[in-house]
């Protein structure tokens, strides 16, 4: 009987200890600073994937933070009904999770969700991947907002175009002074936001020959063919929102678009995103997605650790760029690319045979 009492008491004490441990664990997790990462696009999108690489370089040390990810999938779906729903679902997730810091990546995350929390004292906003103005989101002067702007590295692109030469060409700057470049876009809003910056950039001694929006894949193919003999380089950033035709609204797979473009364009095609080469382009000079993620994560960490307002951290602009190249296409076009470009792309695992 006495033994049974001891056994019962032991079980009770064990249960009490277990309950205390559970309460302690729950309390610890509840009190952890919460960070929510809100992506405009789906996780398999190349840009989003690489932004996450940058985020995770910092986030892997966040043992004392609670972290949640939310993807709005607005690259695959951007009809008004979907955007309204995506924004509503994102805001509900924010309200439910109540993050101390919201890292909002790319423009739809700002437009459909983050901007509704401007000057909310309970949440800090860190934006990334914004390639236009932050003014439409009410971020200018907001106490709880900071972030990193996505700005095309046009100086690096210009330098790259001037450095390319044909096999057998006399290597003089004079021979490349009047080269003409053309900017081709799909109908996506994010790509067209870059248009003004590209048009206003000081391209001399190169000549900027204009830009055009292709409303669908048929138009894209037609424009590429019409540019033959008119320009020396075609510059592009995105083509993931190209309907197949005016009657078929299905988006053409990105690799199909880029493969056709590279095979049929007489002039070299230069990308403004690293993933352009992944899709089949010859060469790209892109904003570093790793920098966007890494800087945003560091800002979030600083806000929490130093207990400061977000606006005490200055807004930054992208400074880094990534070179990607595909050797087979460089050789096919009989171009010579400076050896440092190959070394750079090999070092960043963006070199393709």
Complete domains list, the chain, with CATH: 11-151+290-317 (3.40.50.2300), 154-288+321-352 (3.40.50.2300)
* The pLDDT of residue 136: 96
* The pLDDT of residue 194: 82
* The pLDDT of residue 191: 78
Partners of 326 in the β-ladder:
352
* The pLDDT of residue 196: 87
Partners of 207 in the β-ladder:
180
* The pLDDT of residue 303: 98
Q: Note the pLDDT tens digit of each residue in 187-216.
A: 987 777 788 889 999 999 999 999 999 999
* The pLDDT of residue 178: 84
pLDDT in tens, the chain (353 residues): 555 655 566 666 666 666 555 544 444 455 799 999 999 999 999 899 999 999 999 999 999 999 999 999 998 888 899 999 999 999 999 999 999 999 999 999 999 999 999 999 999 999 999 988 999 999 999 999 999 999 999 999 999 999 998 887 766 666 677 899 999 999 987 777 788 889 999 999 999 999 999 999 999 999 999 999 999 999 999 999 999 999 999 999 999 999 999 999 999 999 999 999 999 999 999 999 999 999 999 999 999 999 999 999 999 999 999 999 999 999 999 999 999 999 999 999 999 98
| Tokens at 163, concatenated | 């450095």
Q: Note the pLDDT tens digit of each residue in 260-314.
A: 999 999 999 999 999 999 999 999 999 999 999 999 999 999 999 999 999 999 9
């Amino acid at each position: 009987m006495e033994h049974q009492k001891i056994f019962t008491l032991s079980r009770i004490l064990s249960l009490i200890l277990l309950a205390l441990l559970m309460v302690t664990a729950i309390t610890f997790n509840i009190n952890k600073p919460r960070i929510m990462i809100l992506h405009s696009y789906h996780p398999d999108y190349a840009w989003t994937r690489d932004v996450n690489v940058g985020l995770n370089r910092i986030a892997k040390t966040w043992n004392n933070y609670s972290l949640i990810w939310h993807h709005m999938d607005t690259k695959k779906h951007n009809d008004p009904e979907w955007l309204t729903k995506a924004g509503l679902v994102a805001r509900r997730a924010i309200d439910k999770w109540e993050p101390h810091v919201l890292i909002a990546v790319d423009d739809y995350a700002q437009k459909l969700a983050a901007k509704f929390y401007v000057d909310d004292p309970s949440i800090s906003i860190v934006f990334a991947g914004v390639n236009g103005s932050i003014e439409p989101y009410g971020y200018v002067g907001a106490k709880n907002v900071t972030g990193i702007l996505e700005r095309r590295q046009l100086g690096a692109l210009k330098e790259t175009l001037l450095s390319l030469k044909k096999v057998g060409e006399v290597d003089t700057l004079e021979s490349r002074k009047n080269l003409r470049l053309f900017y081709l876009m799909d109908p996506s809003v994010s790509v067209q936001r870059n248009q003004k910056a590209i048009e206003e950039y000081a391209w001399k001694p190169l000549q900027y020959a204009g830009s055009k929006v292709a409303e669908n894949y048929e138009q894209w193919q037609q424009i590429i063919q019409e540019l033959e003999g008119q320009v020396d380089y075609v510059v592009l950033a995105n083509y993931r929102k190209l309907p197949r035709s005016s009657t078929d609204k299905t988006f053409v797979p990105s690799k199909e678009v880029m493969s056709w473009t590279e095979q049929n364009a007489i002039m070299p095609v230069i990308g403004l995103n690293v993933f352009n080469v992944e899709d089949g382009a010859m060469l790209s000079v892109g904003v570093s997605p790793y920098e966007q993620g890494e800087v945003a994560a560091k800002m979030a960490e600083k806000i929490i650790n130093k207990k400061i307002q977000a606006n005490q951290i200055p807004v930054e602009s992208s400074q880094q760029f990534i070179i990607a190249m595909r050797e087979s296409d460089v050789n096919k076009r009989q171009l010579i690319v400076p050896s440092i470009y190959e070394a750079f792309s090999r070092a960043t695992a963006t070199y393709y045979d």
